[in-house]
Amino acid sequence: MTLILHLILRLALWLLLAPLLPGIINKVKAWVAGRRGPPVLQLYYDLAKLWKKSVVLSQLASPGFVIGPAVGWVALVGAALLMPLGPAGSALSFRGDVLLLIYLLALARFCTAWAAMETGSAFEGMGAAREVSYAVLAEAAIIAAVLSLIVHTGSVSLITMLAPSPGAGAALLAAGLFTVLLAENCRVPFDDPNTHLELTMIHEAMVLDHSGPPLAVILHGASVKLLLFAVLLVQAVLPIGEMTPPAAAGALAAGVLLVTISVGLVESLLARLAFRRVPLLLTTAFLLCVFALLVAWKGDAT
């Protein structure tokens, strides 16, 4: 009974806090531009409205158009439950859970692209093609970052990998993971979540035909993914496991807030890259994670 209650509380924490991050990002962007901007809780209002709306389906869409976002959301929530939360630990922890985490993230991306292709829309097909093309380099960077943590700790369990300090490669790992965070969550300079130009869209092009509850599921899943990568980045860089429980909880919350504000500042101060330059930046993120892996390997060898 205690385990079930703990799992429910952990799930509620992820589901309720995730929509807060996009609101903070939009507030930071509005502050930099000298505007009032939307409320921090705007995404909560949008999700509530979308759940009350009906679904408009294309005549070409199969059941996969609705099933895809649902399965993708479940995959992201499952990945979130695997992620440790500082002193609270992980709800589902076992040897090799980091491998399941990577596969769940890949499954969520596949389901989003699958649902986009179900409409037979040229724009959504174009967005899906761009998404999976960039994901090849982004996933390589994630795997390199995970390998650096595995080499440093000698473990393939997230709760053990993210406990100690990453050592000398912390700066390299932080830079690489932050770049991957921007790419995986379709933020500037890789994509613009507020764009309305179909020819320049990536993620937004894949959800053009979604409406009502399926669109709410996609938007909420995107916020969960953003929170997941922020928590991963903070715990991969800071020595959370070496702190007292109150200090660790405070450091984790402050770190996630700092990452969120940093995303807003990046979107305010940088322009979106041309498509031909996106692979170069993702390759740079991959190399940063590889260098962090080499530092961890050589550091442990000495």
Distance, in Å, from the CA atom of 38 to the CA atom of 230, rounded to the nearest integer, reads: 22
Summarised one tens digit per residue, pLDDT across range 96-135 is 999 999 999 999 999 999 999 988 888 888 889 889 999 9
The pTM for the full model equals: 0.95
Give the residue from 190, 101, 185 showing the smallest Cα distance to 145: 101
* Neighbour count for residue 113 (Cβ, 10 Å): 22
| Residue scoring higher pLDDT (38 or 3) | 38
At 227, the pLDDT band (50, 70, 90 cuts) reads: very high
> What pLDDT sits at residue 286?
97
Summarised one tens digit per residue, pLDDT across range 243-270 is 899 999 999 999 999 999 999 999 999 9
Burial of 299 (0-12, 13-18, 19+ CB in 10 A): middle
What is the average pLDDT across 212-233?
A: 97
Contact 10, 84 (CB under 8 A): no
Q: Among 119-128, 140-149, 196-205, whose mean pLDDT is lowest?
A: 196-205
Distance, in Å, from the CA atom of 154 to the CA atom of 173, rounded to the nearest integer, reads: 17
Contact 236, 145 (CB under 8 A): yes
Does position 242 have pLDDT exceeding 90, yes or no? no
Contact 186, 226 (CB under 8 A): no
Distance, in Å, from the CA atom of 102 to the CA atom of 150, rounded to the nearest integer, reads: 14
User: In one letter, which amino acid is 88?
Assistant: A
Distance, in Å, from the CA atom of 15 to the CA atom of 174, rounded to the nearest integer, reads: 25
> What pLDDT sits at residue 276?
85
Residue % of the chain over a pLDDT of 70: 96
Query: For the chain, where are the E strands, in sequence order?
Result: none
Give the residue from 291, 284, 84 showing the smallest Cα distance to 190: 284
Find where tokens 């969550």 sit. Answer: 185
Contact 268, 27 (CB under 8 A): no
H and E: helices and strands count for the chain: 12, 0
Residues 6+ apart with CB under 8 A from 72: 107, 108, 109, 110, 111, 112, 115, 217, 218, 221
Does position 301 have pLDDT exceeding 60, yes or no? no
User: In one letter, which amino acid is 14?
Assistant: W
User: How does DSSP assign 135-162, residue by residue?
Assistant: HHHHHHHHHHHHHHHHHHHS---HHHHT
> What pLDDT sits at residue 199?
65
Does position 197 have pLDDT exceeding 80, yes or no? no
What is the average pLDDT across 226-244?
A: 92
User: In one letter, which amino acid is 286?
Assistant: F
Query: Which SS3 state, helix, strand or coil, does residue 188 take?
Result: coil
At 1, the pLDDT band (50, 70, 90 cuts) reads: low
Q: Give Dmax (Cα) for the chain.
A: 63
Distance, in Å, from the CA atom of 271 to the CA atom of 36, rounded to the nearest integer, reads: 21
> What pLDDT sits at residue 147?
95
Summarised one tens digit per residue, pLDDT across range 65-87 is 999 999 999 999 999 999 999 88
Average pLDDT of the chain is 91
What is the average pLDDT across 15-41?
A: 95
Distance, in Å, from the CA atom of 253 to the CA atom of 238, rounded to the nearest integer, reads: 12
For residue 250, the Cα-to-chain-centroid distance in whole angstroms is 21
Distance, in Å, from the CA atom of 115 to the CA atom of 120, rounded to the nearest integer, reads: 10
> What pLDDT sits at residue 29?
95
Does position 196 have pLDDT exceeding 70, yes or no? no
